[in-house]
Amino acid sequence: MAPAIAIDPRTNALLITIFGIEVVGVVLSALLGWLPLGCPVDGPRAASALIAACLTLAPAILAVKRSSGAFGAFISRRLISEDPLAKLRIRRKFSDQVWQLAIHLSMTLLEVYVLFYDNGGEPWLTDYMSLMTPVPWFQQNTKLSVHVLYCAQMAIWIVTCASHCFVEERHKDYVLMATHHVVTIALLWLSYVCNYVRIGTVVLLLHDSSDIVVDLLKAANYLKLEGPRRCFLVEITFILNFFTWGYTRLYLFGYYVVWKGGLYGPREICTAPGVAGMESFTAAAGSSYTRGHAPGASLGDGSFDWLANLRALPTHDNLPFYWTLNSLMAALLVMQVLWYLLFWRMLFRLMKSSANDVGKEEYEGDSDDGDHND
């Protein structure tokens, strides 16, 4: 049997404890009615919907895993001479990846519908100032699809984190992935209860859509679809993932979402003179207060000084949990950079070895030489 990945038990215990606290906190907050304006149900029903989603998702995942494992084994035996899924352990990893692919694909379609089609669509990256609105002081969010999306995503991340910690095979990036799950659950909860659902939906879309390529890459690697005999499928998806990850998770997420949409944009619009909640501050500051704009400037004309606004208003009720939310998004961005560095390392190793060997050494972290066939 292949040796297990060595995980620091204290680190693992800490992550599991934080995960448990988050789950209890999410359910309790729903029961207490900590929901955004426009939520179609009350607190107890929202908590019940979340619990029902989790309970429904668990057997659905099991069904996808079993069916994909059986189908993968059939393809492996009949169409691939080496039968790469002959070993039970590899087949389990393959089925784990297929259900991840099913989740990421279905959620991407739902997020595209919410952002671009439901009720005429929403401003996306073209309107960075409104990316972090509406907040509770501005307007209600009455789109049913938004609330369905958040309930489904929260259930997915809770079940996924539990599966990652207690069920699935462990890889080299176990701690990084578990941390990613914990941070994402916190971001989901915070963006929902504070009604930052527009930026939350954008973040979900960027990550779910790019994960589709990652899932295809890993599934192709488990099937050893590499080299000229397999049309270089592993190599092609690896290069494709290299560019899609960099574009969506580093460029779009880093620049447009974290910087422009998270740190910069909301301060320009939510703390403007005359905006609801700013009347008393504007009156006390006098006519000289311009929030970092040049005198007489208007929103979005490019004259906004973020640092001047930050000095005048480090915190404000119009931006609840502003620093917490942005700190979590920054932490998520750091994790994307760490994974991207892993891709660079794999690229250099790929020049010297096969794609499957590189995947084992850099990602799997163990050997299957001693694994048995099923």
3-state DSSP of 192-241: HHCCCHHHHHHHHHHHHHHHHHHHHHHHHHHCCCCCHHHCCHHHHHHHHH
C-alpha–C-alpha distance, residues 73 and 154, integer Å: 32
Tokens read off for 226:
């590499």
Please choose, from the candidates 71, 168, 92, the residue with its C-alpha nearest in 3D space to the C-alpha of residue 374: 92
pLDDT of res. 102: 93
The residues facing 87 across adjacent strands are 373
Average pLDDT over residues 154-173: 84
Residues found in the chain = 374
pLDDT value at residue 366: 47
Residue 271 has what pLDDT?
Answer: 80
Query: Average pLDDT, whole number, for the chain?
Result: 83
Task: Kindly report the backbone phi and psi dihedral angles of residue 138, in degrees, each rounded to the nearest multiple of 5, phi listed first.
Answer: -105, -60
User: Is residue 50 pLDDT above 90, yes or no?
Assistant: yes
Instruction: Render pLDDT for 166-203 as a digit per residue (tens, 0 to 9).
Output: 877 677 778 888 898 999 999 899 888 888 888 889 99
Q: Which residue has the higher pLDDT, 136 or 58?
A: 58
**Higher local confidence (pLDDT), 77 or 292:** 77
- Intra-chain end-to-end CA distance of the chain, in Å: 13
C-alpha span between 106 and 103 (Å, rounded):
5
pLDDT value for 134: 55
Residue 372 pLDDT class (50, 70, 90 cuts): very low
Three-class SS of residue 281?
Answer: helix
Which residues, in sequence order, are bridge partners of residue 373?
A: 87
Tell me the angle at which helices 9-31 and 174-193 cross, rounded to the nearest 10 degrees. 20
pLDDT for 20: 94
Name the pLDDT band for 52 (thresholds 50, 70, 90). very high
Least confident of 18-32, 121-135, 174-188: 121-135
For residue range 256-287, what is the model confidence (pLDDT) as tens digits? 999 988 898 888 888 877 777 777 777 777 66
